[in-house]
Chains A and B, each alone.
Chain A
């Protein structure tokens, strides 16, 4: 059982380049999330989705875009990368239709991104 899979694991971008961070889950979870984790700052929510075709902004959405065309996939797009986007990015999912289970988020292993 793969759970939440993120690719790539590492990436170095030049300022102004674009890239897509991939996230896929095989647990049939309807809720999916993107976080960034910076040293000493905890996890900050970038975007989330409650189902295919539905996305919404989190705490720090500027500079990012998402789409959710299927239940399984939730890619995160960085346009015009900036040094401030150097971070570790985590994708997570949860089963949103159960009152308790929706609070239990399962995380991928993360993507380490450096923008130079």
Chain B
């Protein structure tokens, strides 16, 4: 079983839709949770960062963490064609040497006009 599971998609939605992207994980030691966005042929860029259970909002994006269920989500409101990208969840625990992120495989999102 992978430590982090993420549906690869592709997910296709109409412009203006609410998008829900999800990851599940098996390691209860993970404490920090991140969402990276990766445009085609580009490097990943950090979108959202959360610690502990609960919600965090940034503009049209909301990150949600449920540690009891080992489940994290990213919601995108009023989705735009510019949101078309692959979204990678990542997580880590506090460790002594080198901060190692464990990534999901990524969900490919296409927002159509």
Contacts and interface: CB of A to CB of B under 8 A. Distances in A.
Best-surrounded residue of A42, A58, A99, A106 (most CB of chain B within 10 A): A42
A53 interface: no
B88 to A, nearest CB: 7
Contacts of B32: 100, 103
Contacts of A75: none
B105 A109 contact: no
Interface residues of B, number: 25
A95 B93 CA distance: 16
Contacts, number: 62
A31 B100 contact: no
Contacts of A110: 41-43
Interface string A13-45: 000000000000000000100000000111101
Contact of A42 (B46, B49, B105): B105
26 contacts: A4-B43, A31-B98, A31-B99, A41-B105, A42-B106, A43-B44, A43-B103, A49-B98, A50-B97, A56-B98, A90-B43, A94-B99, A96-B98, A96-B99, A99-B94, A100-B51, A103-B49, A103-B92, A103-B101, A104-B34, A104-B46, A104-B49, A105-B101, A106-B46, A107-B45, A110-B43
